[in-house]
Amino acid sequence: MTDTGDARALVSLTLSFRPLAAQIGPLRTLLSDLCKPHLADADGLSRLLLAAHELLENIVKYSVGEAAEFHLLLEAKATGLIVRLRTKNRAAPERMADARWRLDALAKAPNAIAHYDELIRESAGRRDVSGLGLARIPAETEMQLCYATEQDWLILTAEGNASERVNG
Amino acid sequence: MSAFSLTTVGGEGFQVTPALIDFNLRLVFTGSGDMNATGVINDYLKLVHEEAIRLGLAQVSCDFKQLTFMNSSCFKSFVVWIDTVKNSEIRYQIAFLTNPSLPWQRRSLEALRRLAANLVTIETIA
């Protein structure tokens, strides 16, 4: 993970909540309002919101139990902005196994876009769940996605760079 | 042959409005393609394909100028639709009309174009 030695937090948001689909839209709006003043261009904000949306939908769809966590950190460093998104939720054993399988395959893939294209081709003939949401994050946002587990908790972290708005 | 049968679908937060001009069908998407829209898009694109085949359409255009976001489940519905057209004996072109001020569109739709480069085009609209 990022060395935060010379970093200053521009936005730091930690949310513990019972995830509901109806909350994703308002949360996206909140994240947009918080981060937009610090980002140099619409593309940076678009990538951040896409990753946040997919991570939030992931916990809405697959978390078990009442509690889940969402963290956003937007930090300024000498080299630019660091965006870090993290979710933590409890997952059923079969969902945990599926997530690990998908995330391990993603980590092993030498090219995130080629891996995503392959998943798209494989998913075309299936009419069940998408299975594309997590792979979409590195392919379309250039953020790195990694995971950790703590017993039945799944922790996903997406991290990437963005350009900082220069005022004046 | 019966008349054009597609109607506007969706509701608050997401809507698709069809318009048939000559042999080109234009679908105007507005709002956010999120979890609430997934079922609507999935069902609608099946009807679009049936209608396109029935009417012998040359092209279906998806106008995304006012589509603020599309999640991966809605995206998957487009994957299935494009794959269906790709494997159909009768094919038609699919054009995505994008809004340059919504950068996610170009990124997401490029993946659909790579899925079927001979069927899918991406255009920018002002």
Q: Is B52 exposed, middle or buried (0-12, 13-18, 19+ CB in 10 A)?
A: buried
Mutation for testing the B interface, residue in A43, A47, A132, A141 having most B CBs under 10 Å: A132
CA dist., res. A107 & res. A146, Å (int) = 8
- Quote the pLDDT of residue B76: 96
The reply to whether B35 touches chain A by the CB within 8 Å rule is yes
Establish if B116 touches chain A: CB-CB under 8 angstroms: no
Kindly report, residue by residue over A96-114, the tens digit of the pLDDT.
999 999 999 999 999 999 9
Give the pLDDT confidence score for residue B69 in this predicted structure: 96
Give the tens place of pLDDT for each residue, B29-51. 999 999 999 999 999 999 999 99
Is residue B113 within 8 A of residue B120, CB to CB? The reply is yes
Strand partners, A40: none
A124 Cβ under 8 Å from any chain B Cβ = yes
With tokens 């939908």, the residue in question is: A57
Inter-chain contact A120–B80, Cβ cutoff 8 Å?
no
Distance in angstroms (rounded) separating the CA atoms of residues B68 and B103: 10
pLDDT in tens, B39-96: 999 999 999 999 999 999 999 999 999 999 999 999 999 999 999 999 999 999 999 9
| A11, A43, A84, A135, A142 from A7: Cα distances, Å | 12, 22, 13, 28, 21
Rounded to whole angstroms, how far apart are CA atoms A62 and A74? 26
Interface membership of B2 toward A (CB under 8 Å): no
Task: Categorize the per-residue pLDDT at A168 as very low, low, confident or very high, splitting at 50, 70 and 90.
Answer: very low
Question: Taking the CB of residue A60, how many other CB atoms lie within 10 A of it?
Answer: 18
Of B36, B72, B80, the CB nearest to A124: B80
Nearest to A140 among B69, B76, B107 (CB): B107
How far apart CA A136 and CA B9 sit, in angstroms, is: 27
Q: CB-CB: which of B35, B73, B83 is closest to A125?
A: B83
ipTM of the predicted assembly exceeds 0.90 = yes
Each residue of B21-32: pLDDT tens digit? 988 999 999 999
What is the average pLDDT across A64-82? 93
* DSSP symbols for A88-124: EEEE-HHHHHHHHHHHHHHHH-S-HHHHHHHHHHHHH
Regarding pTM above 0.95, the answer is: no
Q: Which of A49, A60, A130, A136 to mutate to test the interface with B (most CBs of B within 10 A)?
A: A130
Reduced to 3 states, what is the DSSP secondary structure of residue A69? strand
pLDDT of amino acid A129: 72
For B101, the token pair is 């001020």
